[in-house]
Structure 1
């Protein structure tokens, strides 16, 4: 999967029957299904049951089992409520009859109201000053740990440019935050807000736990820690376009008991706050 067109195809589920859908999987370098894919496909399924005048404003989800890349995933949508202003859906994802993921999502009709937002960091480095994951492999590939190099070499429909990078050969503890610019690859078609929400949901599961690992970066690596997403929440605020770089900005208030919490915001390049997110993940050191 190397461009936006292929990502859109991945997120477009097959309709099996009323409120039941099926989707395939594509690896991002792991042996199990990427959590962002299940999230985004669940959003696709829920939107297929929603009146056209309502748009996703929040979702809350739990990852229950690892997904099998070789099997289709079935998505069942329960129409919990259709009120005067809001609609609520519950999505269950399963394989071979076993539930692997659940999501509750709420949709709201457009209304006018009060407004304020958090501000983007005015001093942040711009994408043109930074290296993408692909450029890092070209420049430092011979020096990168094998697991990291293999992960960065996977073809993706998104370019990522981290604002801060550390030397993997001389790891050190870092502040509990992560800032990454991202941009879609390939030709970007005109999109309605529903599709934008699905794609942004997919991207939101990348990089999120790094903020929780950074304070322990000196001791943490892919080989000595078991990691997994446990839950994921998103709140959508404003319409936007994917025609320029966007900023993923996360911070971690806590890591304890083999779990870490990250939360933060997603901005357009000109500082418009598009969405906020929160995720708790497993961070279990492997005992020797």
Structure 2
């Protein structure tokens, strides 16, 4: 039986259909969800772009808009436009398509390595992964309170270890600071090129980020009165990064209003190096109560 990490690596090896046309699939553990996880579409779009870029260039930034919800039951087609191949920068535009319509468009820029001045903000002082409950321990605490369909997804093996700092009780959430911190890494070591680690971190970067804006309001994604969705997503890769080593994702939400929230994140290695930054606007909508017959 294929483990979750192997399945994730497999679906990030997007299938080439033509020179600049690729096809991606949804992994088994996500196939029963009502829509495709946004991090999957970003990661596969980035993987498709990487297939058209010289090996000496690494992605330093990407900016994506989610246009329509993805259908997990069918493949996603990724069309890459080779916008520019310059002396030190390469630019790509990727359109993700299902049912003949765009579900995402993304621009990504790639850069050859250059030396330069260096500074960064310090990593927050937080508990270390060994001091925190594992994902399995946290799930075990609440699994009996979930509806059957949600419990199946909750209990399914996942490719990432995640250890939340200041985790909320999903069934009795209380208002907390918007500061939202989590350690994450793949559940096992892998032998993969730097491009694959970028795609894996891109996948993980959409986990928990929008949740930062729910915390001040005592909300959790399982609340039936809440509708959430990622609207756009940006990542800046600053340094080489490995998805199979512990990374601290330090997030916050400076603003929410008008049914939207703004969220941002900084990703650090365990020794304190800032390796990536993210920003995202998300839908944060109150569901209208259903009319009784």
Same fold, TM-score > 0.5, yes or no = yes
Matched with 2:172 is 170
Per-residue displacement from partner, 1:220-275 (whole Å, max 9, x unpaired)? 75311111110000000111334432111100010000001110101111111110
Question: SS of the counterpart of 1:103?
Answer: strand
Matched with 1:128 is 130
Q: Distance in 1 between matches of 2:23 and 2:222?
A: 35
Q: Distance in 2 between matches of 1:146 and 1:280?
A: 31
Offset of residue 215 of structure 1:
0.6
Matches within 5 A, 1:46-125: 46-122=49-125, 124-125=126-127
- Checking the alignment, whether the CA contact within 8 Å between 1:145 and 1:168 is kept in structure 2 is no
Matched with 2:46 is 43
Q: Distance in 2 between matches of 1:143 and 1:205?
A: 25
Give runs of ≥4 in structure 1 deviating > 4 Å. 143-151, 218-221
- Checking the alignment, whether the CA contact within 8 Å between 1:59 and 1:105 is kept in structure 2 is yes
Q: Distance in 2 between matches of 1:243 and 1:169?
A: 31
- Checking the alignment, whether the CA contact within 8 Å between 2:227 and 2:285 is kept in structure 1 is yes
Per-residue displacement from partner, 1:73-106 (whole Å, max 9, x unpaired)? 1100001111111110000000121111100000
Question: SS of the counterpart of 2:16?
Answer: strand
- Checking the alignment, whether the CA contact within 8 Å between 2:14 and 2:47 is kept in structure 1 is yes
What is the number of equivalent residue pairs in this alignment?
286
- Checking the alignment, whether the CA contact within 8 Å between 2:184 and 2:246 is kept in structure 1 is yes
Matches within 5 A, 1:1-288: 2-26=3-27, 27-28=29-30, 30-122=33-125, 124-143=126-145, 149-186=151-188, 188-217=189-218, 221-288=222-289
- Checking the alignment, whether the CA contact within 8 Å between 1:55 and 1:109 is kept in structure 2 is yes
Where structure 1 has 5 or more consecutive residues not aligned to the other structure, the ranges are: none
Q: Distance in 1 between matches of 2:220 and 2:199?
A: 35
The structure-2 alpha-carbon separation of the partners of 1:152 and 1:20, relative to structure 1 and needing over 3 Å to count, comes to same
Q: Distance in 1 between matches of 2:246 and 2:255?
A: 29
Q: Distance in 1 between matches of 2:168 and 2:149?
A: 16
Pairwise CA RMSD: 1.9
TM-score, normalised with respect to structure 2: 0.92
TM-score, normalised with respect to structure 1: 0.93
